[in-house]
Amino acid sequence: MNTTGSMGRYGVIALAMAMAATTQAAAAKMSTPSDAKLIASAERAAPMAVAKDATIVAMDAGGKMRTLREGHNGWTCMPDSPATPGPDPMCMDKNAFEWAGAWMGHKPPASSKVGFMYMLEGGTDASNTDPYATKPAAGNHWIKTGAHVMIVGADQGFYDLYPKGADPNTHAPYVMWAGTPYQHLMVPIK
Ligand SMILES: [Cu+2]
């Protein structure tokens, strides 16, 4: 007996695929905040005097950068990353934005191009030693830092002034991802 009835085997498979695609589209739609929400999230990263005239960019579902709003003060802000537990929007000056692009693109950052970044909503990072960890490893936990600013692209001698452990005290300045091309100083401000 043909258990798939009159549709036949391939009809059932096609139907199942169509249903899966519809479910995925619905899930994507539900989890994608509006541009207004993304912009508001991005603007919370810095003082409003900086954020209100900044370019706002966001990563789309396919990992491509999309410009939500063109700015004119040299700053670029990104909304919270949904991949981490807490809110972590950021505002970057030009050098810091280039640095972040190098990190995300797995490329070497420019040397001695010091950049500055605001993260006034704080941030959570999966590892203080691995720039590409996406979740904490066994016996590890999310590195949670409150409102802070970051200094990126400085020389080694600068980072050598600060602690570099895997489990830093996040209430005082410390180096994240020490010894990698993406080491940077995390500076809590509260
Ligand atoms: Cu940060």
Answer for the pair 130, 89: CB distance below 8 angstroms, yes or no.
Answer: no
**188 CA to centre of ligand 1 in angstroms:** 9
For residue 165, give every residue at least 6 positions away whose Cβ sits within 8 Å of its Cβ, in sequence order, or none.
Answer: 128, 174
**123 CA to centre of ligand 1 in angstroms:** 6
The pLDDT confidence band at residue 136, using thresholds 50, 70 and 90, is: confident
Highest mean pLDDT among 102-111, 140-149, 153-162: 153-162
DSSP string, 86-146: S---EEE-HHHHHHHHHHHTT-PPPTT--EEEEETT-EEES-SS-TT--S--TT---EEE-
Environment of ion ligand 1 (residues, CB < 5 A): 119, 123, 150
**70 CA to centre of ligand 1 in angstroms:** 23
**119 CA to centre of ligand 1 in angstroms:** 6
**11 CA to centre of ligand 1 in angstroms:** 51
Look at residue 29 and tell me whether its pLDDT is greater than 70.
no
Percentage of the chain modeled with pLDDT above 90: 69
**47 CA to centre of ligand 1 in angstroms:** 15
d(CA 175, CA 160): 9
The pLDDT confidence band at residue 60, using thresholds 50, 70 and 90, is: confident
Q: How far is CA 129 from the centre of its chain?
A: 16
The pLDDT confidence band at residue 8, using thresholds 50, 70 and 90, is: low
d(CA 40, CA 79): 8
Answer for the pair 48, 29: CB distance below 8 angstroms, yes or no.
Answer: no
**186 CA to centre of ligand 1 in angstroms:** 6
**150 CA to centre of ligand 1 in angstroms:** 6
**17 CA to centre of ligand 1 in angstroms:** 41
**187 CA to centre of ligand 1 in angstroms:** 8
Per-residue pLDDT tens for 38-58? Answer: 999 999 999 999 999 999 999
**46 CA to centre of ligand 1 in angstroms:** 12
**CB count in 10 Å sphere of residue 140:** 16
